[in-house]
Amino acid sequence: MDRFKKKFSIMMKFTLELSNLSTCKRRGQGAIIIQSDFSAVPAIGYNGPAAGLSNDFCTNQISKCGCAHAEANAIGKLGHYPYRSLVMLCTEDPCSACANAIINCGKIGLFISFMPYSDSSGVFRITEAGILFERLNTNNPDTLHVLKNGVLSSIQRRMTALTNGVRNQ
Ligand SMILES: [Zn+2]
Ligand SMILES: [Zn+2]
């Protein structure tokens, strides 16, 4: 396994493991924000009731369970970073509200989703705003070597471009 794939696989596993910390009654989601050269993980997040609230604040209702989402929780902990220099990995596509937070924080240049989400408006919105988007369509890190659609090489090219400070649409 080449070096990039090995590093990416470790970050993917970390993201998936974070979803196991979720306190949402519906399902767990994980998100991490990394530097494009894998040198740091500036923020992590998973979904659940807002800090300090009881887990009963999750109503267990579809798309209105009341939990804070993984992406929003990660963005809330981000320090100062250059404009669109960071990469977010998330177990699913962003919802509409998280898409707005991702755009407005100004620090995410590439969003990598593992699996689709029922509402595609979030993906539409971040791509309209010029944030690069990739989806693996798998949440199994052990299948990275058999992904045939070139998504991993596209991710590698885009992360390298971010590291070099080059915007590469
Ligand atoms: Zn919930
Ligand atoms: Zn969301």
Q: How do residues 70-122 score in pLDDT, each as one tens digit? A: 999 999 999 999 999 999 999 999 999 999 999 999 999 999 999 999 999 99
Q: Nearest ligand to the C-alpha of residue 66?
A: 1
| Measured distance CA(1)–CA(11) in Å, rounded | 15
**What is the pLDDT, as a whole number, of residue 124?**
98
Quick one: which of 92, 97, 27, 31 has its CA closest to 62? 27
| Measured distance CA(90)–CA(74) in Å, rounded | 10
* Residue 123 backbone dihedrals phi, psi, to 5 degrees: -65, -45
Q: Nearest ligand to the C-alpha of residue 72?
A: 2
For tokens 């699913």, the residue is 92
Q: Above 80 in pLDDT, residue 39?
A: yes
pTM of the shown model: 0.94
Q: Residue 102 in contact with residue 131, Cβ under 8 Å?
A: yes
**What is the pLDDT, as a whole number, of residue 146?**
78
Q: What residues pack around ion ligand 2 (CB closer than 5 A)?
A: 69, 95, 98
Q: From ligand 1's centre to the CA of 23, what distance in Å?
A: 7
| Measured distance CA(19)–CA(82) in Å, rounded | 27
Q: Nearest ligand to the C-alpha of residue 100?
A: 2
Q: From ligand 1's centre to the CA of 138, what distance in Å?
A: 23
CA distances from 30 to 44, 83, 88, 154, 162 (A): 8, 23, 11, 22, 23
For tokens 């807002």, the residue is 50
Q: From ligand 1's centre to the CA of 65, what distance in Å?
A: 4
Please, which pLDDT band fits residue 1 given cuts at 50, 70 and 90?
low
